[in-house]
Amino acid sequence: MVGCLLISSFPLACELADHEELRGSPCAVIDENSRVEAVSVAAEAYGVHPGQTAREAIGRCPGLAALETRPARYDLIWEEIRVAVEEVAFTVEAASAGVIYVAVDELLTCYRTLDAAIKALLGCAPQTLEPRVGVAPSRFTAMLAARQARANGSDVVGQEELSAFLAPQPVQALPVSVETLRRLRVLGLQTLDELRALPRSALAAQFGPEGDLAWQLASGTDCEPLRPQRRCVQLVEQLSLETPLSGRQPLLVAWEQTLSRLLRQRGFHGLAARQAELRAATERDRQWSRVVTFKEPLADFRQMWSALRAALDEALFPGPLSELSIELRGLGPAQGHQLALPSARSTMRSRLEEGLRQLKARYGYCPVGRVVEVEPWNRIPERRLALIDFDP
């Protein structure tokens, strides 16, 4: 049996969790291109649907509450849910934001009853997001069951009731291309019952592999196994800012310090990273993120900082930042590079760093700091200069 944890219209669910007063009213999430990304049921009644321009949506529904998309926040919430599900279940496949599949049979060895397993799955997502769980013999059916379940509830479809459950479902629910759905509609096929009544070979001949897949899904005979995501080794370093920073220069100092700390982590020793994700949050919890993919795996601070700085120079943050973090991904063994002969300056620096390392070993922390200008023009004295760890 497969379980599906579903959060319908995930971006909208995240926004409604933060704006309880909008629940039940017509509202839509607008993406960065001023197009509708997700709509509430009340807005759908006015003819608002995803893909429309914001202007058209507001024209159709003058009382529409238009919410600006916050993809970094949605990613953060989804990541928390995914991690929570992985702690509950063994085989987990995150299909997309808001849809996650688990192997329910494995859960029964821990939770004894199906109800307890479903309750554990529902507990992985905040109730304000209104998660639903569907359990069925296949992934597609589990998702349909989850769609039919009430908010914070579940629906279970057994093997014996599978055929009856699938029969009235609309063909538009099939995970096939828009063109295939359009042709099915033109052919007058409304339900899965009508679809599966056709010969499988005829559907395959007409629609190719998608036709064959559609027939299997409609018949409940699809048995594609769950594909758990490969676990990636990741390293993260975070910096908390006492007072939110907005100046470009102090922010660069803060990012540089965070990267420096990250590369000094014990787990990074002897490794190189292919990708870095920069994340930031404002004091009002607005999120920002940017993924930087390196041209080659990098282990050197200067090369990595050069790549990240180029991205940061172009970045537009959503406000003064209070939290920064850098995550390195795609870690692999570092390749050797020919080094230059040491100069007198670098020798002095290495001696200084060695001395600081000894101090750190003795006291457990590095007692030496570096004074950096944060906002020298600020009228509040304690925001002008800051001490940052000089971490060898």
Partner 1 sequence: MESNPRAKAGAHRLRPLNTPARVQLRVEAGGPSAVLQRGRWRRVDHVEEVWRVDDGWWRLSPVARTYFRLALETGHLITLYHDDVEGTWWAQSY
Residues that bind partner 1 (CB under 8 A): 238-244, 254, 257, 261, 283-284, 320, 365, 369, 371-372, 374, 378-389, 391
In the complex, least distance from residue 210 CB atom to partner 1, rounded to whole angstroms: 48
Closest distance to partner 1 from the beta carbon of 268 (Å): 16
Residue 23 or 264: the one with the smaller Cβ distance to partner 1 is: 264
**Which residue's CB is nearer to partner 1, number 23 or number 384?**
384
Supply the minimum distance, in Å, between the C-beta of residue 378 and partner 1.
8
The smaller minimum CB distance to partner 1, of residues 99 and 235, is found at 235
List, as one string, the DSSP characters of 51-81: TSBHHHHHHH-TT-EEEE--HHHHHHHHHHH
288/284 Cα distance (integer angstroms): 12
Nearest to partner 1 of 119, 284 (CB atom): 284
CB 380 to partner 1: min, Å: 6
- CB 390, min distance to partner 1, A: 11
State the minimum distance, in angstroms, from the CB of residue 379 to partner 1: 5
Which residues have CB under 8 Å from 310's CB, separation 6+?
Answer: none
Q: At 365, phi and psi to the nearest 5?
A: -150, 160
Selection from 69, 56, 59 nearest residue 9 by Cα: 69
> Judged by CB, which is closer to partner 1: 352, or 371?
371
- Contact indicator for 98, 7 with CB cutoff of 8 Å: yes
3-state SS, residue 37:
strand
With beta carbons less than 8 A apart as the criterion, state whether 127 and 152 touch: yes
Q: Residue holding tokens 């069925």? A: 136
Choice between 80 and 283, CB closer to partner 1: 283
Provide the token pair at 296. Answer: 């080659």
Chain CA centroid to CA 386, Å: 34
The Cα–Cα gap between 207 and 204 comes to 5
